[in-house]
Chain A
Amino acid sequence: MATKLLPKELAKRPDRLSPGHRLCAGCGASIIVRQMLAAIDEPVVLSNATGCLEVATTIYPYTAWRVPWIHNAFENAASTISGVEAAYRSMVRQGKIPEQDVKFIAFGGDGGTYDIGLQALSGAVERGHQFLYVCYDNGAYMNTGIQRSSATPLGAHTTTSPAGKVIPGKQQFRKDLTAIMAAHGIPYVAQAAPSQWRDLMKKTRKAVNCGGPAFMNVLSSCNRGWRHGTDETVEITQLAVDTCYWPLYEVEEGVWRLTYKPREKLPVEEWLKRQGRFRHLFRPENRHLIDRLQEEVDRRWERLLRLCGEA
């Protein structure tokens, strides 16, 4: 029997990521990792791309991981775990190690996933390795000091897309990585957020039990980069969901399904105005950027509703 997804039951499970790591207070990544790993009763083996989660949890000679974990480099969390998984299958087949229901999971940020690691991820899922790749998407290269990535929202200030006198922040929309991964035709793809923890945990269970490669894109607030208080992480993440900037859905065997529909779809500026990285957008001369972002959010939401048969 799988552990029931109830706080009382889940609290009994030992943390697989132990306290004492050096991630910032209010960091989305550690919340996501703890929630996801708590959803899995089976043994796990993890790989981790270079990034905040990696550097802050394994400062030699310490480690915060109570489960097998490997970091190789920035762009290759997917190819590394594919090697681990291939080794497991080979050695089980030869009777060298016992068969257990091991769940192989790779964690990477948006830099390591949308950008530098996209090729390795695409290759690993195409090859059909049985693993879950989790992108904790905080919308910039936060570990190196808040540089733009292809996940950064239009208009956001980052240190390589600064809100300057001529150019007001990032000029492009976010790449729709979740749809790109769905286009690979793998058994399970989902978008999730830690503010909807039960949804996140249910999706995690589906992902690791889908019998093939799975991908989850999970919105992860970085209060250093997003510019908000350390106690606002979950609330602001939920605003991304309720404005439909970050819809929650899954694509299971090619079937798209919305897993959360906001009672009232909020204007995107409700999410923007809570974050310092968008402050400049509220100047009158930059108002058109909020309008452009709203239009794009609406366009993508409508498309998603059509794909999910809700329109």
Chain B
Amino acid sequence: MSKFEALAGNEAVATAMRQINPDVVAAYPITPQTSTVQTFANYVADGLVDTEFVTVESEHSAMSACVGASAAGARVMTATSANGLALMWEIVYIAASTRCPIVMGLVNRALSGPINIHCDHSDVMGMRDSGWIILFSENGQEAYDNLIQAVRIAEHPDVLLPVAVCQDGFITSHGMERVEIYEDADVRAFVGEYRPQWSLLDLEHPKTYGPLDFYDYYYEHKRQQVEAMQHAHRVIQEVAEAFNRTFDRDYGLFEPYRLEDAEVAVVVANSTAGTAKVVVDRLREEGLKVGLLKPRVFRPFPAEELAEALAHLKAVAVMDRSISFGAMGNAGPLFLELAAALALRGVRMPMADYVYGLGGRDILPREIESVYRDMLRVAETGQVERMVTYLSVR
């Protein structure tokens, strides 16, 4: 029997880690991820897991040790935020190209500078081209569920790529919520045993990991990473189906909310999607045909399915919690990629980007409502006044 617990998002993630019982965790504390590793350290100290907890001296060493442990055939996890992820940077790419199925709990926080410990998505957006699979989570429940699924996605023989599971710093990482925790045995059965195919510790069959790879092969190895990402698109959905059957959930590539008959929609990831649902309900009471699309899988980007899900709309707004400086219109990355996805599939509609919540700036229901009302006007006129709006900036 599963049970309901009042847990902060980080505790929910730590609980999933306890249930998954990875062979190795290498992590370094950073706000707002810290309570994940602290909680997990208690599990280690109390003998609740078999994990070797490598208390590294930096995030660079955390990811380095993860790569070493993963190459050695271990099931490996880590967790970080913002500057910690940035310090890992070099090895984040190496983890993906070495095809290490590492799972990372990423608590989204604004990247310095100036230094700021609160939520935005500038950290994860920096890793979008690194070769990692990236999943978003609206709340503690989704962070917990995504982390469990991430293990199976990462270790699938057709994938073998690392996975980052995102949740919003402080908003969900420290916000206490009702989380359904499944039986330990059920979680362990779901993730199964990891059977590495090319372990460095297979002493009878020595492997060389991380050789020098020049112009005669490097390109083909990069192409193989592309194929792994293509496979991931399928495997993520297969794992979600299995998860939904086992735990009675409804995961897919994204979550549509009152989208089917909507004329105007907002696309927004992580915790703000929860607030936006409330706004949608309120506006629906007024008879306004509004909906929401909450991306779950950001890498690999499900362009085809997103275009299809949004094709019937008269106008779409994207809400971005980060800026791609110097990109078209200084817009946010989610908007830019979604706009390209729709345009290339001949889905033409007015689109606008709303940057919000940088450095943990509150986002209020009335601000989200203003986005909907803007887009309802746009749907009528067919004209977008401003491609990018910076919500509630002074």
Contacts and interface: CB of A to CB of B under 8 A. Distances in A.
Contact of B68 (A63, A66, A81, A96): A81
A59 B211 CA distance: 6
Given A63-B208, A68-B207, A71-B211, A76 B51 contact: no
Interface stretch (A118-126, A178-186, A260-268, A276-284): A118-126
A224 B58 CA distance: 35
B73 A91 contact: yes
Interface string A275-296: 0000000000000000000000
Given A70-B200, A70-B210, 15 more contacts: A45-B200, A58-B210, A60-B217, A71-B210, A73-B91, A79-B56, A79-B61, A83-B67, A84-B201, A86-B54, A87-B23, A87-B76, A90-B74, A91-B74, A119-B61
Interface in B207-223: 207-214, 217
Interface string A50-93: 00001100111111011111111101101111111011111101
Nearest to B65: A83
Kindly state the interface size class of chain B when it binds its partner.
35 or more
Nearest to B22: A90
A217 interface: no
A47 interface: yes
- Interface hub of A80, A89, A94, A97 (most chain B Cβ within 10 A): A80
B55 interface: yes
A87 B52 contact: yes
A43 interface: yes
B152 interface: no
B211 A79 contact: no
Given A65-B206, A68-B207, A72-B94, A86 B52 contact: yes
Given A59-B214, A83-B67, A91-B201, A68 B73 contact: no
B54 A67 contact: no
B277 interface: no
6 contacts: A59-B214, A60-B217, A69-B209, A70-B209, A83-B64, A127-B55
Interface string B61-95: 11011111111111010000000000000110010
Contacts of B72: 45, 83-84, 87-88, 91
A101 to B, nearest CB: 11
Contact of A58 (B61, B69, B90, B211): B211
Interface of A: 43, 45, 47, 54-55, 58-63, 65-73, 75-76, 78-84, 86-91, 93-94, 96-97, 100, 102, 119-120, 122-124, 126-127
Contacts of B30: none
B278 to A, nearest CB: 44
Interface of B: 23-24, 26, 50-52, 54-58, 60-62, 64-74, 76, 90-91, 94, 98, 200-203, 206-214, 217
Rank and list the top 4 A-B pairs by shortest CB-CB distance, nearest first: A83-B68, A123-B57, A83-B65, A58-B211
B71 A70 contact: yes
A80 to B, nearest CB: 4
B55 A87 contact: no
Secondary structure type dominating chain A contacts: mixed
Contacts of A78: 61
A82 B68 contact: yes
B201 A68 contact: yes
Contacts of A54: 212
Contact of A82 (B60, B65, B203): B65
A292 B70 CA distance: 49
A96 B21 CA distance: 13
Contacts of A68: 200-203, 206-207
Contacts of A60: 211-214, 217
- Interface hub of B26, B55, B69 (most chain A Cβ within 10 A): B69
A79 B217 contact: no
- Interface hub of A89, A93, A94, A102 (most chain B Cβ within 10 A): A94
A89 B52 contact: yes
